[in-house]
Amino acid sequence: MPGLAVFDLDGTITRHDTLAPYVFGFLARHPRGWLGLPRVLPCLLQFAVGAADQGMLKSAFIRSTLGGRRRAQITEWTRQFVQALPARGIFPDALARIDFHRGRGDTLVLLSASTDLYVPELAGLLGFDHSICTGVAWDHDRLVGTLTTPNRRGAEKVRCLEQLRREFPGRPVSAYGNAPEDVAHLQMADRPLLVNGNRRARRLAAARGIPSTTWQ
């Protein structure tokens, strides 16, 4: 039976975080947007003292920098960003593993805390069958930037993988992630693999019998 292959994005497939380069790349082409960056500071301070979570910080960052932009502007930049990413920002070993699962007939799922501003487009480019990511709100043609879904990390990835198991019953699950927060959903997989994890992530993975590797 074909399996289910679930990949994290940032640090697993890509060499770095994708949201900051996405936003700053847009601002480099629309410099007036830099003026909104100081509006992130109150939420950043709240995050630093534990009064705001990563989802709240993500929303504040998007609202302050991209809020109010028209859909056509965002769509055009998304196309440019996604098309350029494989040449400079993706691990060849990740592409090889994606191809391996595709060759076996597995269903490919990109499960990421990054946003639907660009994750579905990137998933399509890489040949994924499905993408699950953090949603952001629009007001008709204008980007708002508040989150329309939970931030897809940690316990939320566990919930998403549980839902995938219900949708694809009996399928053996392979899962790939890189962060300490990914260990919780990796341990639910039949064939988990921690990729490029930091020391804490490797320690947590080892304690749960999850193998680790480094992708180049």
- pLDDT tens digits, residue range 2-32? 999 999 999 999 999 999 999 999 999 999 8
The pLDDT of residue 37 is 87
What residue numbers bound the domain in which 147 lies?
4-213
Distance CA 182, CA 6 (A): 12
Spatial distance between the Cα atoms of 185 and 160, rounded to a whole number of angstroms: 9
pLDDT band for 61, please (50, 70, 90 cuts).
very high
Residue 72, classed as helix, strand or coil, is: helix
For 95-149, what is each residue's pLDDT tens digit? Answer: 999 999 999 999 999 999 999 999 999 999 999 999 999 999 999 999 999 999 9
In angstroms, the CA 2 to CA 23 distance is 37
CA 167 to chain centre: 21
Q: What is the CATH number of the domain that holds 30?
A: 3.40.50.1000
Phi, psi of 86 (to 5 degrees): -60, -30
Tokens found for residue 178: 């890189």
Total count of domains within the chain = 1
Which band of pLDDT confidence, cut at 50, 70 and 90, is reported for residue 52?
A: confident
Res 36: pLDDT: 85
| Lowest mean pLDDT, pick from 19-23, 70-74, 85-89, 124-128 | 85-89
Q: Residue 215 pLDDT more than 90? A: yes
The share of the chain scoring above pLDDT 90, in percent, equals 88
Nearest to 27 by CA among 60, 73, 86: 73
Q: Taking 90 as the threshold, does the pLDDT of residue 35 lie above it?
A: no
